[in-house]
Amino acid sequence: MSMNRLFFAILIFVLSINASAAYVAVLETAADGSTKDSVSFMDRQYLTNVLREQAVKELPAVQNYTIMTRENIQQMLPPSKSIEDCEGSCLVETGKNIAADYVCQARVGRFGKSLTLSAELYETAGNKLIASFNGRGSDVNELLSVIEAKSPDFFHSVKELETFKRGKAGNSVVQETVAADSIVAPLPDPTPVNVPVVETPLAPKTETVGETQVGKSIPANVGKDNSMNEKSTKKGIRWVPLSIGAAATVTGVVLAVVGNSKAKNASEKKYSTETEYKKYHDDAKSGQTLRGVGIGIAIAGAVGIGLSFAF
């Protein structure tokens, strides 16, 4: 595999990672039944803050993760939406409404005389539960310890899934490049072929010896090599797909960056009416779509660049 094609495969893999940020939403901690009376709203809000803090530690922005703030989530939710009444598929639907790739929530309950804490993490696109944990304690301080102990592995599940997705996308580019590099010309037919011998006409050439010119004969085609012309023609033809591939790559990266920025801006806007909410929600979705299209175009352009070096 040539270094040029390997370089472009790695380049596009890195660009695709940078262009597709993963949005993670940590919803407010809910309470079941009579637990609402024994665990105040302020205590539950603090539990949410610690859970969100753990998400930021495990999924940092430098690795292209965006942890949505409480304000982001509230702005994107419909005015009549009650998060505390949601579980399972309802959480997934809420995550889609706020344009989050992953959504999680903790719930406080009671088991005997102990307080319990359960948390679930969903991938919104596939409606999949990818992580959960449970714990219990005599008071909210012990529930806080449960969050601090179990949330790192909890949020690490997002990183593992995203790494798998991005690695799969990157491997497809590398595999296509390797396949292009593995094309081997067919072996020649071993059957001998009689090739007629054509005598090359000789052109006279004179050489001076002293004051006398002596005639010599040399092949008329000496010094005339067409290989340079063929190489120049091939180079000229190669620049066409190379230019197209480069243009597609640049265009795809630009579209991915613009789409990512559009989705992020829409999720951060405040709204006061249902109409505004729908508009921002649609903008966020279209931004994510544009981001995906851009990544696809960039990868296709990179493959085109790689193939241009194969011929």
pLDDT one-digit tens code per residue, 269-306: 666 666 666 677 677 777 777 877 878 887 887 877 77
Structure-model confidence comparison of residues 34 and 52, the more confident one: 52
Question: Which structure tokens are listed for 115?
Answer: 């307080």
pTM: 0.55
Domain with 138 in it: 3-180+231-308
In a domain, 206, yes or no: no
CATH number at residue 45: 3.40.50.10070
Q: 18: pLDDT confidence band, cut at 50, 70 and 90?
A: very low
Placement of tokens 């050489």 in the chain: 207
What's the confidence (pLDDT) of residue 180?
46
The answer as to whether 284 is a domain residue is yes
Task: Count structural domains, the chain.
Answer: 1
In degrees rounded to 5, what are phi and psi of residue 66? -120, 115
Per-residue pLDDT, 230: 61
Give the per-residue SS3 of the chain: CCHHHHHHHHHHHHHHHHHCCEEEEECCCEECCCHHHHCCHHHHHHHHHHHHHHHHHHCCHHHCEEECCHHHHHHHCCCCCCHHHCCCHHHHHHHHHCCCCEEEEEEEEEECCEEEEEEEEEECCCCEEEEEEEEEECCHHHHHHHHHHHHHHHHHHHHHHHHHHHHHHHHHHHHHHHHHHCCCCCCCCCCCCCCCCCCCCEEEEEEEECCEEEEEEEECCCCCCCHHHHHHHHHHHHHHHHHHHHHHHHHHHHHHHHHHHHHHHHHHCCCCCHHHHHHHHHHHHHHHHHHHHHHHHHHHHHHHHHHHCCC
pLDDT, residue 25, reads: 94
In a domain, 187, yes or no: no
Give domain status of residue 153, yes or no.
yes
Instruction: Return the percentage of the chain with pLDDT > 70, whole number.
Output: 60
Highest mean pLDDT, choosing among 22-31, 194-203, 222-231, 266-275:
22-31
pLDDT, tens only, 264-273: 777 666 666 6
Per-residue pLDDT of 222-259, as tens digits, reads 555 566 656 556 555 566 777 787 888 889 788 877 87
Query: What are the C-alpha distances in Å from 295 to residues 22, 66, 137, 169, 200?
Result: 14, 18, 47, 10, 58
* pLDDT score of 184: 44
Q: What is the mean pLDDT of residues 202-217?
A: 51
Determine the Cα–Cα distance for residues 114 and 137; give it in Å rounded to an integer: 6
Domain membership flag for residue 216: no
Instruction: Tell me the mean pLDDT in the region 141-163.
Output: 94
Give the residue carrying structure tokens 């903790």: 106
Residues 6+ away with beta carbon under 8 Å from 299: 12, 16, 169, 172, 173, 252
Please check the confidence at residue 199 and state whether its pLDDT lies above 80. no
Lowest-confidence region among 14-18, 105-109, 132-136:
14-18
Give 255 or 10, the one with higher predicted confidence. 255
Residue 85 lies in a domain: yes
Sorting pLDDT into bands at 50, 70 and 90, what band is 97?
Answer: confident
Phi, psi (rounded to 5 degrees) for 169? -65, -40
Does the structure show a pLDDT above 80 at 210? no
Whether pLDDT at 135 is above 60: yes
Query: Does residue 199 sit within a domain?
Result: no
User: Is 278 inside a domain boundary?
Assistant: yes
> Mean pLDDT of all residues in the chain?
75
Question: Which is more confidently placed, 2 or 23?
Answer: 23
Cα radius of gyration (the chain): 33
Residues in the chain, how many? 311
Q: What is the pLDDT of residue 115?
A: 95
